[in-house]
Homo-oligomer: A and B are copies of this chain.
């Protein structure tokens, strides 16, 4: 997928609708993928995101140590593989190989980008104060990529227990909100 750089000031629009995302990390040559639904925008520019990552996840220790990750946004076409990533542990398997994802090298971080996702956000951890109490990492997006062909991406949104809502129609309302 040929991606284009995406303005950091527009990143919030990719995430505030609440899509399931795939968080990638890497330690040494070993990459990992984690499925994540618990995240929120915290600031527009620089884009700050609060990510809740349970300390039961293999990615938790890697992120704490490396302070680098990529937030990749998948669409419904690869939903089964997204769920697969959520049901396996990187301690046991290489999820890129198991689920047939293509790692791409980032411009700013050591964690790989997932080529099959329409957007990739390279991030650095900027605050770990909420990690011990809430497993919340505050990350800053330092480089963003998008597939320019993705016009109305069918993101998926978790409702619990394997039930997902797929992004539906779009509407535009007159608004002063950013």
Give the interface size bracket for A toward B: 35 or more
Question: What are 28 A-B residue pairs whose CB atoms fall within 8 Å in the complex?
Answer: A10-B160, A13-B160, A13-B161, A16-B38, A16-B159, A17-B18, A18-B19, A35-B177, A37-B41, A38-B42, A40-B52, A41-B52, A50-B134, A50-B136, A76-B171, A79-B171, A87-B177, A130-B130, A155-B165, A156-B171, A158-B177, A161-B178, A162-B175, A163-B172, A164-B173, A165-B167, A167-B168, A168-B168
The number of times this chain is found in the oligomer is 2
Residues of B within 8 A of A169 (CB): 165-166, 168
A143 at the interface (CB under 8 A from B): no
Residue interface mask A130-152, B partner, CB < 8 A = 1: 10001010100000000000000
**Also in contact, A16 and B16, with CB within 8 A (given A173-B80, A174-B83, A177-B83):** no
